[in-house]
Amino acid sequence: MKCSKCGQDYSDKFDHCPDCKEPNPNFQQQSTNSTQLPPKQKKPITKKWWFWVIIVVLALAVIGGISQGSDKDNEKSSSNSSESSQTDSKTDSNSSNQQTDAPTEEPTTVPGIGSTVDDNGVKITFESLDQFTSDNEFLQPDEGKVFLKATFEINNTSNSEVNFSSLMSIDAYLDGYALDEDLTAISANEGQHLDGTVASGKKLKGSLCYQVDLDWKEIEFSFESQGLFSDDVVFTAKNNK
């Protein structure tokens, strides 16, 4: 621009003439024009009244929906409980009728002396149960006790041989307590012990020997299956003396 006082050319960005220092009227006008009011700020949406009206309406709708759902659930629960009670009543009634109509089972008879059990082609016969003594003064039972021997016969009618061990295959119980064979009684016994291999079509006869109280009441012999039988075979005998 050109200075109005001295005629010097200078940029209108200066606030006065560089030569005569005459103020630049355009510069003051630009400054005045460049001064603007700050933009008007908008109110946040949370301060508007209609925003809270919408929030309240939505909250009431949600609460109403939950209340209706709870009422429906309670109705379903009551209905299910009623149906369950009726079903249980019918089940109890049917169960009672079945128990009334069911035939009474016969008591199971455990084989005793003289009985034979045939299982998987292996026949076991409980032949006898005897008290015995020995002429050898060193092979005598303890005071108040007696030697007892149980004699069994094993008849192998299967197609394969059978290996039989009294120690591994038989458990004995006297009056409910576990009973082991007695070495003195075994030594005093003059017969065959119940151990050995039985070929197909052959038999084995032997005895199991114990030392027991004179007043014993009942003895039990359990032949464990161990691949020979489909299930354990149990024999019992009572002291009739």
Summarize pLDDT for 97-147 with one digit per residue, the tens.
554 444 444 444 578 899 999 877 888 999 999 999 888 989 999 999 999
pLDDT above 60 for 158: yes
Average pLDDT over residues 5-9: 77
pLDDT above 80 for 55: no
**Is 57 a member of any domain?**
no
Q: Who has greater pLDDT, 146 or 27?
A: 146
Average pLDDT over residues 34-59: 63
Query: Which amino acid, residue 236?
Result: T
My answer on whether 122 and 229 are in the same domain is yes
pLDDT tens, 159-217? 988 888 888 888 999 999 999 999 999 999 988 898 889 999 999 999 999 999 999 99
My answer on whether 124 and 231 are in the same domain is yes
**Is 211 a member of any domain?**
yes
pLDDT band at 89 (very low <50, low <70, confident <90, very high): low
Cβ neighbours of residue 146 closer than 8 Å, sequence gap 6 or more: 131, 211, 212, 213, 214
Structural domain total, the chain: 2
**CA dihedral sign of residues 38, 42, 43, 48:** positive
Look-up of token digits 């621009």: 1
Q: Cα–Cα–Cα angle for 204, 210, 213, nearest 5°? A: 150
**Is 175 a member of any domain?**
yes
Query: pLDDT at position 103, please?
Result: 46
My answer on whether 125 and 234 are in the same domain is yes
**Is 46 a member of any domain?**
no
Query: Which amino acid, residue 92?
Result: D
Cβ neighbours of residue 5 closer than 8 Å, sequence gap 6 or more: 17, 20, 22
Query: pLDDT at position 38, please?
Result: 54
What number of CA atoms fall less than 13 Å from residue 218's CA on the CB side?
8
Query: pLDDT at position 12, please?
Result: 74
pLDDT band at 219 (very low <50, low <70, confident <90, very high): very high
Using a pLDDT cut of 90, give the percent of the chain over it: 32
My answer on whether 120 and 234 are in the same domain is yes
My answer on whether 138 and 232 are in the same domain is yes
Take residue 229 and report the two structure tokens written for it: 């039988």
**Is 93 a member of any domain?**
no
**Is 49 a member of any domain?**
no
What is the residue range of 23's domain?
1-32
Q: Cα–Cα–Cα angle for 226, 229, 233, nearest 5°? A: 95
Classify residue 206 by its DSSP letter: E
**Is 213 a member of any domain?**
yes
**Is 18 a member of any domain?**
yes
